[in-house]
Amino acid sequence: MKLRHTLGLLVLLLVLCALYYGLQYHREHREVAMRTARQLFDFEPDQVRRLTVNRIDGPACTAERGEDGAWRILEPNPTITPFQMMWERVATHAAHVVNEHTVDARPGDLGQYGLDVPSLTVAGETKAGDAFELRFGDLEPTQRHRYAQLDDGALFLVNTDTFFELNRSLTDLRHRYLVANREVPLLDLEFAWIWDDPDQELETREAPPEVGEESIAVRARKEAPDASWRMITPEEAPANHDVVQALADEIQFAVARDFIDTPEDLHDYGLNPPRARITVKDAEKEQAQTLWLGAPDDSPERSGIFARREGEDAVIVIDPHIITLLPTSPLEWRDRRLLTRRVSNIHRLEYATEMDRFVLSRAENGQWQLTTPAMDHVNALAVSGFLSFFREVEGDEFVTDIDTQQVFATPTASIHLYYDDGADAEIAVAPHPDEPDVFLARQDTGGIVTLSQAATRMLITDSENFRSRELLRFVKGEVTALVFTFDDEKYGLFKRHNRWHLRAPEGMELHNQADVHTLMDAVNPLFMTGAAVLETPDDLDAYGLDTPVFDLVISFEDDVADKQLQIGAPNPANPDERYARSSEREGIYLISQEVMDEIREALRGIY
């Protein structure tokens, strides 16, 4: 095909595409124009000043838009908080109602269209003072439209989607959340129980509190959404972040299940006086928002807690789960952890007991190291496990009536912490002077808490617990020879062409390749149960290692150095242990007797 023909076809294609898209644009533009022409009103949604939504099965709801653009409900109760987005949505769809088809310009009998008793009436008024009233009747036979009438004018059809958007109940049109804006996190939270039992006597008080009197208020606050909660009252101290945040989330995202708009007597709902008060502030509003909690709603259809928002007449029903998140004592929100700051903020930890002292330091790569005492083989998992427990351990309850100076004069353990910002703190553990089964701990903030024996046992440690218990480890696939003595018999196993062969003792055979793997598994990896001496002594006779029961040399490919393991006599203090030494580290250690049993079992296949 010649070039001019190709160019001609390309031009033709471009012309056809332009024509097609031009027709599409014209068609869409015409449809929009026709639809706009069929709109009942020529005002925009923001010109709607007042709306009344009157459903056949509910109360009429009237709201008015103020100068600030916000809606406020007038009927059925001015104290009902409007759901701004929904009123704006109704105003938008009311302003854009379209006459899909005129049925009768002068309708006679409206009863046959369901308009003698409308299912929905939407009345409104614009800022210019123009009023309108839309009435909706039955569905037409195709079920896609409803009969409608504007004022006393023509009978026409309205799309069912428009009807759905306008047919809003009071529940849809009211603010159902406990806070003004659930998208904004809460930064301030105060709670107090309220006395409501005039007959109960309290041993701790000469006279019971007055009905309606609040208990000690518990308040927590955080400086920013991503900050940690701190207690403000009754004491200034770090708060248990997770506990306070759980209640804050519940309040922020809770939705009212039901409403009693005209309660006859608040006493019937446990709200005169209320049982508790919750006051919150969010990250945007300075004005506090208060929620009053009442009695449980035991009706099977609702099953919740009665509550009331300050400034509203209505009683609401909320999820009863909120009760489980409320503090039962003034100090319940206080952080009972011994370490209230993050481990990642610490760069040095000095641990001391009467018998031991060690230092953990965080390296530049973030890894923790045991720097004192110097130790060749450190168990990184043990260090990590201790820090993880140390980060989470918490006391049972706070103690105030005790002579802390005397109790912590000679602590069982003290932990000195040095932070990246230059601050430091000390945590200490000591026996309770009056309760032998309980310990006391001083937090990094100075608070005193009781500590159970179980938690204390896990917290009291020494540097030896961080020593690696691994005596021997190797890659089985790289092993080329196993030469060992067992019960004064010398064995030699060599791998050729990926199969194991027995060279010693003479006259014996290896009947099962799996027995060699069983033998290696018995000592790989091999962990000690304890340390006998950390430096290998000159005299090995006391440990049975001058003539070991099992003496193994492991050879590898690619010029890798041999590894050796020797197992000696049983531990006189514990027959279930034996002394052992490894070429991997200095010293003599204890291993389980089970290792010898597994070696003996593996050698059954050699005969």
CATH number at residue 487: 2.60.40
Beta bridge partners of 235: none
Residue 191 pLDDT grade (very low, low, confident, very high; cuts 50, 70, 90):
very high
Q: Are strands 530-533 and 71-75 parallel, antiparallel or unpaired?
A: unpaired
pLDDT at 2: 64
Residues 87, 160 within the same domain: yes
Confidence of residue 381 (pLDDT cuts 50, 70, 90): confident
Other C-beta atoms closer than 10 Å to the C-beta of 222 total 21
Q: In which domain, by residue range, is 388 found?
A: 343-466
Residue 4: predicted pLDDT: 66
CB 577 within 8 A of CB 589: no
- pLDDT of 416 > 80? The answer is yes
Which stretch of 202-206, 442-446, 476-480, 556-560 has the lowest confidence by average pLDDT? 202-206
CB atoms within 10 A of CB 391: 15
Q: How much is the pTM? A: 0.70
pLDDT beyond 60 at 322: yes
The predicted pLDDT at position 303 comes to: 82
Q: Is residue 535 part of a domain?
A: yes
The whole-number average pLDDT for the span 204-219 is 77
Q: Residue 210's pLDDT is what? A: 80
Does the pLDDT of residue 312 top 70, yes or no? yes
CB atoms within 10 A of CB 292: 23
Which of 136, 167, 198 lies at the terminal end of a domain, its last residue?
Answer: 167
Answer whether residue 14 is part of any domain: no
Pair 216, 319 in one domain:
yes
Mark which of 466, 499, 517 sits at the end of a domain: 466
- Helix and strand counts by DSSP (H, E) for the chain: 10, 34
Residue 133 in contact with residue 149, Cβ under 8 Å? Answer: no
Residue 143 lies in a domain: yes
- Which among 325, 360, 381 is the end of a domain? 325
Long-range pairs for 14-17 at CB < 8 Å and ≥24 separation?
A: none
**What is the overall mean pLDDT for the chain?**
90
pLDDT in tens, 226-238: 999 999 999 899 9
- The pLDDT score that the predictor gives to residue 124 is 95
Considering the domain architecture, whether residues 310 and 220 belong to the same structural domain is answered as yes
pLDDT (0 to 100) of residue 106? 87
Q: How confident is the model at residue 45 (pLDDT cuts 50, 70, 90)?
A: very high
Residue type, 541: D
Q: Are residues 477 and 574 in the same domain?
A: yes
Q: Are 94 and 194 within one domain?
A: no
Q: How far is CA 430 from CA 337, 346, 393, 410, 436, in A?
A: 16, 23, 15, 8, 11
448 plus 488 within the same structural domain = no
Nearest to 432 by CA among 450, 414, 444: 450
- Distance set, CA 412 to CA 263, 415, 453 (Å): 61, 10, 13
**φ, ψ (nearest 5 deg) of residue 90:** -65, -40
Q: Are residues 147 and 271 in the same domain?
A: no
Q: Among residues 266, 276, 228, which one has the least CA distance to residue 248?
A: 228
Predicted confidence (pLDDT) at residue 32 exceeds the cutoff of 80:
no
**β-pairing, 470-472 with 448-451?**
unpaired
In a domain, 263, yes or no: yes
- Whether 350 and 289 map to the same domain: the answer is no
Asked if the model's pLDDT at residue 179 lies above 80, the reply is yes
Query: If you search the block for the tokens 């201790």, which residue do you land on?
Result: 386
Instruction: Please check whether residues 476 and 595 belong to one and the same domain.
Output: yes
C-alpha to C-alpha distance for 291 and 309, rounded to whole angstroms: 5
Judge whether 178 lies within some domain: no
Q: Crossing angle for the helix pair 513-523 and 594-602, nearest 10 degrees?
A: 170
Mean pLDDT, rounded, for 245-274: 94
* In a domain? residue 10: no
The count of structural domains within the chain is 4
pLDDT number for residue 23:
65
Task: Give the confidence band of 208 by pLDDT, cuts at 50, 70, 90.
Answer: low
pLDDT class of 377 with cuts at 50, 70, 90:
confident
How far is 566 from 547, CA to CA, in rounded Å? 9
Q: Are residues 191 and 206 in the same domain?
A: yes
Tell me, what's the pLDDT at 366? 85
What would the mean pLDDT of 367-371 be, rounded to a whole number? 88
Percent of the chain topping pLDDT 70: 93
Per-residue pLDDT of 547-576, as tens digits, reads 999 999 999 987 789 999 999 999 999 999
pLDDT band of 378, cuts 50, 70, 90: confident
Residues 566 and 545 sit within 8 Å (Cβ to Cβ): yes
Both 350 and 315 in one domain: the answer is no
**Position with higher pLDDT, 199 vs 284:** 284
- Inside any domain, residue 142: yes
> Does any domain span residue 5?
no
Give the residue among 528, 464, 509, 477 at the shortest CA–CA distance from 607. Answer: 509
Give the separation between CA 292 and CA 316, rounded to whole angstroms: 10
Neighbours of 526 (CB within 10 A): 21
Please tell me the predicted confidence (pLDDT) of residue 33: 47
349 shares its domain with 443: yes
Range in 89-98, 170-179, 208-217, 261-270 the model is least confident about = 208-217
Q: Which of 194-203, 430-439, 506-515 has the lowest mean pLDDT?
A: 194-203
Please tell me which of 34-38, 130-134, 376-380 the model is most confident about, judged by mean pLDDT. 130-134
